[in-house]
Amino acid sequence: MENVYLKTKNKIECNGCTACAYICPKQCIAMKEDNEGFIYPVIDETKCVHCSKCLTVCSNTYKREEKRKIIPFAIINNDKQILSKSTSGGTFYALLADLFSKSNSVCYGAAYDANLEVKHMRAETLEDAMKFMGSKYVRSNICGIYEQVKKDLLEGKNVLFTGTPCMTAGLYTYLKRDADNLLTCNIICHSNPSPKVFSKYIKCLELTKGSKVKSVTFRAKETGWRNATPVIELETGAKFEEDTFAKAFSRTLISRPSCSDCKFIEPYNFADITIGDFWGVEKLTALKDVEDGISLVYANTKKGLDELNKLKGVTKHNLDENLNYLMYNHHTPVKAHRNREKFFNKLDKTKDKDIIKLINNMSKERLFRRILKRLKILK
């Protein structure tokens, strides 16, 4: 688990998990934001005692030794209201419901704070943990979370940790062990966009609309799971669809550099359970009536499988273990958009009111790709 980033400072080598910073016994590593808005570890050499702990803890070079058998499922939550608030099939909510049916339980996940910044947070009740529902297509700030998880585990609490695969790998390298009272759940992960660009995008919307933004629902299902479009709600009560940021995310204009060399992709099995959108479900299975959303779910460990077998309030379909269900989904590291560097060079020079224009200009797809999409050859 050599820490390549701390030696080379090559940004592609750091996914920002924070494990090296929080393992340091002298607290002399700070996670600092760069000009693109992503955090990286920076060592205060004056306090460093050269213990090498940070050099041997990196999640980005973590290799699990054991081979894992992955068991795939398709899951749909039976509660229509829950399904409408969930991104895919509402599997996450079912995990929450099971967790909080036991006392002494806590969940960790990504939520918006009062300033619409996406952060990893802790929740002690089912009601509070519902703030984690719904995909936020922004890198979540995970600073300080591994320490809290460790404390909860040592106190004997049942912990459900959810996040990106790199965050889960970071948790395991930080803890240096698994624990019976820890259950981990990863999302299938396309990439993580810049929090700084998201914050500038929100400011731009507020300036052009003349009102504070109250909420952003990235995958509002009003027009169906497949057509899910971001819905912005203003403090005035007005609601509208706006997809500038979401397009820049899917076209990888604003992703973290490490996502272009992601070490956690396929088989996505770093956590006990993996959840994602079941794209291509009709082509790969005989399942019908999935317009409100359906999750592709993997049990990666016995603990994960036992948990999925206990879930209540869901319809769970067994799938053929020999098929590749990621055929129509994200399964190779993303290629950064050709304008990525140009975009970030212009970001700080652009006035907040012009950010949406900048994103739109820079995230344009090549003409050839646009034609293929129009001909429905590409998604």
Ligand X SMILES: Cc1cc2nc3c(=O)[nH]c(=O)nc-3n(C[C@H](O)[C@H](O)[C@H](O)COP(=O)(O)OP(=O)(O)OC[C@H]3O[C@@H](n4cnc5c(N)ncnc54)[C@H](O)[C@@H]3O)c2cc1C
Q: Which among ligand X, ligand SF4, none contacts residue 110 (Cβ within 5 to 8 A by kind)?
A: ligand X
Tokens representing 264? 């956690």
Q: Which among ligand SF4, ligand X, none contacts residue 20 (Cβ within 5 to 8 A by kind)?
A: ligand SF4
Task: Kindly state whether residue 378 participates in binding ligand SF4, applying the rule CB under 6 A.
Answer: no
Of the pair 28, 207, the CB lying nearest ligand SF4 is at 28
Of the pair 25, 237, the CB lying nearest ligand SF4 is at 25
Please, what is the minimum distance in Å from the beta carbon of residue 222 to ligand X?
A: 15
- List the interface residues with ligand SF4, window 43-82 (CB under 6 A): 43, 48-54, 57-60
Task: Kindly state whether residue 220 participates in binding ligand SF4, applying the rule CB under 6 A.
Answer: no
CA distance 68 to 73: 16
Task: Kindly state whether residue 238 participates in binding ligand SF4, applying the rule CB under 6 A.
Answer: no
346 and 358 Cβ atoms separated by less than 8 Å: yes
- Only one residue has tokens 């009003």, namely 222
Instruction: Please enumerate in sequence order all residues whose Cβ is within 8 A of that of 268, keeping only pairs 6 or more positions apart, or say none.
Output: 165, 186, 188, 189, 274, 276, 298, 326
- Only one residue has tokens 């990504």, namely 110
CA distance 293 to 79: 12
129 and 107 Cβ atoms separated by less than 8 Å: yes
18 and 31 Cβ atoms separated by less than 8 Å: yes
Tokens representing 42? 């920076």
Of the pair 7, 369, the CB lying nearest ligand X is at 369
Q: Which among ligand SF4, ligand X, none contacts residue 220 (Cβ within 5 to 8 A by kind)?
A: none
Of the pair 29, 95, the CB lying nearest ligand SF4 is at 29
Buried b / exposed e over 256-281, threshold 16 CB at 10 Å, is bbbbeebbbbeebbbbbbbbbbbbbb
Q: Which among ligand X, ligand SF4, none contacts residue 130 (Cβ within 5 to 8 A by kind)?
A: none
The footprint of ligand SF4 on this chain (CB under 6 A) covers a number of residues equal to: 39
Q: Which among ligand X, ligand SF4, none contacts residue 90 (Cβ within 5 to 8 A by kind)?
A: ligand X
- List the interface residues with ligand SF4, window 176-205 (CB under 6 A): 189, 191-192
Percent helix, percent strand, percent coil in the chain, to nearest 5: 35, 20, 45
325 and 246 Cβ atoms separated by less than 8 Å: no
CA distance 246 to 251: 9
- List the interface residues with ligand SF4, window 240-259 (CB under 6 A): 256, 258-259
Task: Kindly state whether residue 175 participates in binding ligand SF4, applying the rule CB under 6 A.
Answer: no
Q: Which among ligand X, ligand SF4, none contacts residue 170 (Cβ within 5 to 8 A by kind)?
A: ligand SF4
Given 111, 118, 185, 262, the residue binding ligand SF4 (CB under 6 A) = 262
User: Shortest CA distance to 112 belongs to which of 90, 89, 134, 95?
Assistant: 134
What type of residue sits at position 294?
A: I
- List the interface residues with ligand SF4, window 316-355 (CB under 6 A): none
Of the pair 20, 188, the CB lying nearest ligand X is at 188
> Is residue 177 classed exposed, middle or buried when 0-12, 13-18 and 19+ CB atoms within 10 A define those classes?
exposed
- Gyration radius of the chain over CA positions: 21
**Footprint on this chain of ligand X (rule: CB under 6 A):** 86-93, 109-110, 118, 132-138, 140, 162-164, 187-190, 192, 275-277, 295, 329-330
Rounded (10°) CA dihedral 314, 315, 319, 324: -60
Of the pair 121, 130, the CB lying nearest ligand SF4 is at 121
- List the interface residues with ligand SF4, window 76-105 (CB under 6 A): none
Task: Kindly state whether residue 162 participates in binding ligand SF4, applying the rule CB under 6 A.
Answer: no
What type of residue sits at position 97?
A: A
Of the pair 44, 178, the CB lying nearest ligand SF4 is at 44
Of the pair 256, 340, the CB lying nearest ligand SF4 is at 256
Stretch in the footprint of ligand SF4 (CB under 6 A) among 40-48, 115-123, 245-253, 365-373: 40-48
Of the pair 200, 256, the CB lying nearest ligand SF4 is at 256
Q: Which among ligand SF4, ligand X, none contacts residue 59 (Cβ within 5 to 8 A by kind)?
A: ligand SF4
Q: Which among ligand X, ligand SF4, none contacts residue 195 (Cβ within 5 to 8 A by kind)?
A: none
